[in-house]
Amino acid sequence: MILYHGSNVVVESPVLLTPKRTLDFGTGYYTTTNKNQAISFAHKVMLRNDSQTKSVSMYEIDFVNMENTLEVLKFNEPNGEWLDFVFSNRQGIYSGKQYDVIIGAVADDTIYRVFSLYEAGLLDREETLKRLKVKKLYDQVTFCTEKALTYLHYIGQLNTDIEEGAQ
């Protein structure tokens, strides 16, 4: 399986960094199976960091071996369990079990608006989930431990300029 990581720098050797903001699955190294999502995120990181470069690093992973060896939490859909998990991580209050790898839908910018309404108490849980299910949600695969990072094998950098022109 190929995974992508969008950034403003090439990342051959991923490391766990403390995020500057609260993220969907907490602290970790975020990747995706969706090339276009990684390109979009690289562009956002470039702008956020006032950089002139964007990069998408590519990794190969033995997914079956990883699932058999590590503690993996997988959300197959944006259900109530996923909503509670992402919400508590974004609030910085998650205190449950720690996993090596977490897989599930990414709460992108449009999803974040729905989350904001939920956080403000303007949407209840049922309405929030209903609104999330009509969105095209991409996946994220988050590596949360040093042990998990050893399963990522860098295979190169995606040329984002060619890929963006091909869309």
Domain-located, residue 82:
yes
Q: Give residue-wise pLDDT tens across range 41-99.
A: 899 889 988 988 899 999 999 999 999 999 999 998 888 898 899 889 988 899 999 99
Per-residue confidence (pLDDT) for residue 5, from 0 to 100? 96
Domain assignment of residue 100, given as a range: 2-14+28-157
User: Beta partners for 4?
Assistant: 32, 58
**Does residue 128 lie in a domain region?**
yes
What percentage of the chain has pLDDT greater than the value 90?
A: 54
The reply to whether 151 falls in a domain is yes
Q: What pTM was estimated for this model as a whole? A: 0.86
Residue 123 in domain:
yes
> Would you say residue 167 lies in a domain?
no
The confidence score (pLDDT) of residue 150 equals 96
In tens, the pLDDT along 142-165 reads 999 999 999 999 999 987 765 554
How many folded domains does the chain comprise?
A: 1
In a domain, 68, yes or no: yes
Buried b (16+ CB within 10 A) or exposed e, 41-58: bbbebbeeeeeeebbbbb
